[in-house]
Amino acid sequence: MVLRQSFLIILAFFGMVLCGLVYLNTNQNSCKPEIIEKVITKEIRKPENFALRSSPGLVYNQPSALVSRTDVAPVTSWLAPIIWEGTFDPTLIDSIFKQQNLTIATTVFALGKYTRFLKDFLESAEEHYFVGFRVHYYLFTDKPEEVPEVKMSENHSLTVRKVPSMNRWQDISMGRMEILEKLIKDELASEADYIFCLDVDTKFHGRWSVESLGRLVGVIHPWFFDAPRNQFTYERRPESQAYIPAEEGDYYFTGAAFGGSLEDVHHLTKTCWEQMNIDIANSIEAIWHEESHLNKYFLYNKPSKLLSPEYLWRDINAGAGQIKVVRFTHVAKNNAEVRPNK
Ligand SMILES: CC(=O)N[C@H]1[C@@H](OP(=O)(O)OP(=O)(O)OC[C@H]2O[C@@H](n3ccc(=O)[nH]c3=O)[C@H](O)[C@@H]2O)O[C@H](CO)[C@H](O)[C@@H]1O
Ligand SMILES: [Mn+2]
């Protein structure tokens, strides 16, 4: 009898503990979405944070309603500014954006032999890229041990992330879209205001700063800024999701640099990655990989700001009358030697 009673008490005790655990567990699960939501809503910036406030007493040149550069277009036909030297006042624009307390996330990938480009990329960025503004670089590499020590300025920081190696350079280049989509979705909401995604085989030579910020930002490719649209190297096969017919197209954009607000770049990376996967399922790869999909995206989701080829020039020594300042260049490389495949 006593034995039976104690057995029942023990059973009841374990029952309670079990119930408690189940409760805790379900409760934790049901809490998760709430917590995530709280973090995001807490960090969303209010519209007034983006107001273009200027300080009394700031001395700068009077802007003109009449005079501008006449050798280049400072605006697209959908009224997005095109940023060229001489279209903005660095003193004024820096002072306005200083008041917004921004963080610019910047991603760069260096897999395989491309780690050799990191030193020049990072050192030159520290000299010219968003100087005086908060920058968080996210560097994705399969060889973290090869990341050089580069001294970061006070408000710039670098996070290194290990990613698996890949055998095809095309897969590395296209795979960036998937990693970027996840990074923005999972981590950046409470971390940054804007993002730029850059090729690593590049180098800064001049200012690249807040004049480049916008909701959705594309960089005009240095080889095609003066070409007619039917000569752009868009994907021309209708079977690909990146297809653009010969009579359509605005500009040809580079895949080596794009950016904007987290929300807009998230949508861009997600869409391009989805489109590339449809192509894979249909056994087709766009002629210039994610760059082709990016161009398709920009055609039907117009960028709100365009950066002139000053923001991705061919080579520091290559000249063109319209390029008054070279800010960022693609560096010459031996593709056959540096890539894992043809
Ligand atoms: C100037 C320009 O418009 N560049 C684009 C162009 O060729 P690119 O010749 O510039 O392509 P690329 O060889 O630089 O590859 C793009 C990027 O992928 C990364 N990477 C690539 C290979 C590798 O082994 N390891 C590695 O880390 C690295 O960050 C590199 O900068 O077309 C590519 C897609 O076809 C991309 O759209 C590039 O952005
Ligand atoms: Mn490149």
- How far apart are the C-alpha atoms of 45 and 30, rounded to whole Å? 27
| Residue 187 annotated as binding site | no
Among 42, 55, 50, residue whose Cα is nearest residue 101: 50
CA-CA-CA-CA torsion sign (212, 306, 225, 173)? positive
Task: Report the pLDDT averaged over residues 261-283.
Answer: 98
pLDDT digits (tens, 9 = 90+) for 284-293: 999 999 999 9
pLDDT digits (tens, 9 = 90+) for 57-69: 999 999 999 999 9
Q: Are 100 and 94 in contact (CB under 8 A)?
A: no
Query: Residues of the chain with pLDDT > 70: what percent?
Result: 86
Task: Supply the pLDDT for residue 89.
Answer: 97
Q: Give the model's confidence band at 3: pLDDT under 50 very low, under 70 low, under 90 confident, else very high.
A: very low
Q: Are 115 and 141 in contact (CB under 8 A)?
A: yes
In sequence order, the β-bridge partners of residue 103 are 134
Task: Report the pLDDT averaged over residues 290-307.
Answer: 98
Residue 249 has pLDDT above 50, yes or no: yes
| Residue 210 annotated as binding site | no
**Model's pTM, two decimal places?**
0.88
CATH class of 75-338: alpha beta
- How far apart are the C-alpha atoms of 186 and 175, rounded to whole Å? 17
Q: Which of 137, 172, 173 to mutate to test the pocket of ligand 1 (most atoms within 8 A of CB)?
A: 173
Q: Are 164 and 140 in contact (CB under 8 A)?
A: no
pLDDT digits (tens, 9 = 90+) for 182-205: 999 999 988 999 999 999 999 999
Query: Residues of the chain with pLDDT > 90: what percent?
Result: 82
Residue 13 has pLDDT above 60, yes or no: no
- How far apart are the C-alpha atoms of 267 and 276, rounded to whole Å? 14
Residue 16 has pLDDT above 80, yes or no: no
- How far apart are the C-alpha atoms of 137 and 159, rounded to whole Å? 6
Coil, helix or strand at residue 95 = helix
Task: Supply the pLDDT for residue 320.
Answer: 83
Centroid of ligand 2 to alpha carbon of 55 (angstroms):
40
Task: State the average pLDDT for the chain.
Answer: 89
Positions annotated as catalytic residues are 291
- Ligand 1 pocket (Cβ < 6 Å) reads 109-112, 114, 169, 172-173, 199-201, 221, 254-256, 288-291, 330, 339-340
What b/e readout covers 285-302, taking b as 16+ CB neighbours within 10 angstroms? Answer: bbebbbbbbbbbbbbeeb
Residue 47 has pLDDT above 70, yes or no: no
Residue 1 has pLDDT above 70, yes or no: no
pLDDT digits (tens, 9 = 90+) for 117-147: 999 999 999 999 999 999 999 999 999 999 9
Centroid of ligand 2 to alpha carbon of 240 (angstroms):
23
Residue 18 has pLDDT above 80, yes or no: no
Helix ranges (H only) for the chain are 2-43, 90-98, 118-128, 169-186, 262-281, 290-300, 335-338
Q: Are 265 and 313 in contact (CB under 8 A)?
A: no
Task: Report the pLDDT averaged over residues 77-98.
Answer: 97
